[in-house]
């Protein structure tokens, strides 16, 4: 097999960097982008923070109240997604000047496969340098880049010399590159799995690679041998073109942790309605419905169900979400939640996501049910009202007006 050349581009502290670019007074200061900290009593989390803020132990996804306690002198900024989206659009246009094989991971990172295009620009490493230079010149922002034969190695490489880093891993050097690194760097290895491995003395990727597949299967089930293959440097995952690996979802954080089933029900319906609207705006529908629940104490669970057909209808999504929530919401007393059980704890956050997407116009049946025609007509009427008067002009009975 010919050597692959995969790039992972990761923007440096993206949201905070845009804020510092647009407001020179913020440069050199600990900028924290996220929810209102409300003097340490705010809810929500840190979206991202500048490298100056990271020196105080602030990090992405940290509760905003904790960020305030660690860095009360920080500059707390409400996210400006329009500015971030504008910068991201410029960056993605730059990518397409080098290859059509691009897999966006988020607004600030992407994989690029340049195996078939790098010779137009020189060497693979030269492509990386050109991309970094173009991003800096056209947006004023810096990016860290990893170049490797596999997606996982490229992703790890991009993170090793932040900010403004560039790390190359060649075909024959993947094992040597991975061996000394902490197991937590493996893409797809979560904190719980890492804890299980560390308890057995497995702290590095090299040690994981040396562990037998049978032992890892005993510890972790079928996921164990798969992780060993990654530790050995075996990663055949392809860069998926934009749109192939897509999902649509929304989350809602309650102002106060709640066990009020009516409040939870209203939020779930509003989330399903919002996801449905976004699916329809993007002209897609999906087969897999996922529910995310975060309980007090930040314990987070997800439950998913795949259907035999794709949908973008609120009612269908809502029906599956209610079933998933009902299955999860089995109280087991006031103790810590068991796997899949709420344990009497209050709910902090809810999320709804639809994945396994396809174009909305693709028919999966020779016959169109009369019910589908009615649902389609209803959704179009709602969309027309919202387009004219705003999203809050019409919402479903039993749901929150906005989430």
Whether 295 and 345 have beta carbons less than 8 Å apart is answered as yes
Whether 337 and 356 have beta carbons less than 8 Å apart is answered as no
Return d(Cα 356, Cα 362) in angstroms, integer. Answer: 13
DSSP letter for 212, please. Answer: -
Return d(Cα 233, Cα 176) in angstroms, integer. Answer: 9
* Strand-strand pairing, 166-168 and 143-148: parallel
How many helices (H) and strands (E) the chain has is answered by: 14, 12
DSSP codes, 379-390: HHHHHHHHHHH-
| Of 119, 155, 95, 109, residue with least CA distance to 3 | 119
- Is residue 126 annotated as a catalytic residue, yes or no? no
DSSP codes, 297-364: TS-EEEEEEEEEEEE--HHHHHHHHHHHHHHH-----SSSPPTT--TTPPEEEEEEEEEEEEETT---
DSSP-derived 3-state class of residue 136: helix
Count CB neighbours of 83 within 10 A: 14
Q: How far is Cα of residue 270 from the mean position of the Cα atoms in its chain? A: 21
The catalytic position among 19, 52, 103, 109 is 109
Buried b (16+ CB within 10 A) or exposed e, 162-174: eeebbbbbbeeeb
Which DSSP helix (H) or strand (E) runs through 264?
A: helix 261-281
DSSP letter for 45, please. Answer: B
DSSP-derived 3-state class of residue 256: strand
In this structure, what token pair is assigned to residue 221?
């089930």
| Sign of torsion over alpha carbons 41, 47, 50, 55 | positive
Which DSSP helix (H) or strand (E) runs through 219?
A: helix 213-220
Which residues are CB-contacts of 178 (< 8 A; sequence separation ≥ 6)? 153, 156, 205, 206, 209, 231, 233
Ramachandran angles phi, psi of 171, nearest 5°:
-50, -50
Residues acting as catalytic residues: 109
């Amino acid at each position: 097999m010919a050597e692959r050349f995969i790039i992972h581009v990761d923007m440096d502290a993206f949201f905070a960097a845009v804020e510092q670019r647009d407001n020179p007074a913020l440069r050199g200061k600990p900028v924290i982008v996220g929810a209102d900290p409300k003097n340490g009593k705010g809810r929500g989390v840190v979206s991202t923070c500048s490298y100056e803020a990271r020196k105080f132990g602030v990090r992405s996804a940290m509760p905003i109240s904790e960020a305030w306690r660690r860095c009360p002198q920080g500059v707390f900024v409400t996210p400006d997604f329009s500015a971030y989206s504008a910068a991201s659009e410029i960056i993605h246009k730059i990518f397409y000047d080098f290859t059509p094989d691009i897999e966006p991971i988020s607004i600030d990172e992407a994989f690029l496969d340049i195996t078939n295009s790098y010779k137009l620009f020189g060497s693979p490493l030269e492509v990386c340098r050109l991309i970094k230079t173009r991003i800096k010149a056209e947006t004023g922002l810096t990016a860290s880049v990893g170049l490797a034969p596999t997606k996982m190695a490229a992703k790890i490489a991009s993170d090793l010399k932040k900010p403004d880093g560039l790390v190359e891993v060649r075909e024959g050097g993947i094992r040597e590159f991975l061996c000394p690194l902490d197991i937590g760097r493996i893409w797809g290895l979560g904190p719980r799995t890492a804890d299980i491995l560390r308890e057995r003395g497995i702290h590095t990727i090299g040690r994981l690679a040396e562990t037998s597949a049978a032992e890892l299967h005993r510890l972790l089930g079928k996921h164990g041998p798969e992780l060993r293959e990654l530790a050995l440097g075996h990663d055949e995952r392809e860069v998926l073109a934009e749109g192939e690996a897509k999902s649509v979802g929304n989350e809602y954080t309650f102002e106060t942790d709640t066990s009020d089933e009516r409040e939870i029900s209203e939020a779930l319906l509003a989330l399903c309605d919002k996801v449905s609207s976004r699916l329809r705006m993007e002209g897609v529908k999906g087969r897999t419905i996922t529910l995310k629940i975060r309980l007090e104490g930040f314990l987070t669970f997800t439950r998913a169900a795949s259907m035999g057909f794709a949908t973008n209808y609120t009612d269908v999504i809502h029906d599956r979400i209610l079933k998933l929530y009902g299955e999860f919401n089995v109280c087991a007393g006031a103790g810590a939640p068991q796997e899949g059980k709420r344990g009497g704890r209050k709910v902090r956050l809810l999320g709804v996501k639809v994945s396994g997407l396809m174009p909305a116009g693709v028919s999966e049946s020779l016959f169109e049910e009369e019910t589908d025609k009615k649902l389609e007509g209803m959704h179009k009427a709602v969309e027309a009202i919202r387009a004219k008067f705003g999203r809050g002009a019409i919402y479903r009975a039993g749901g929150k007006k906005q989430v």
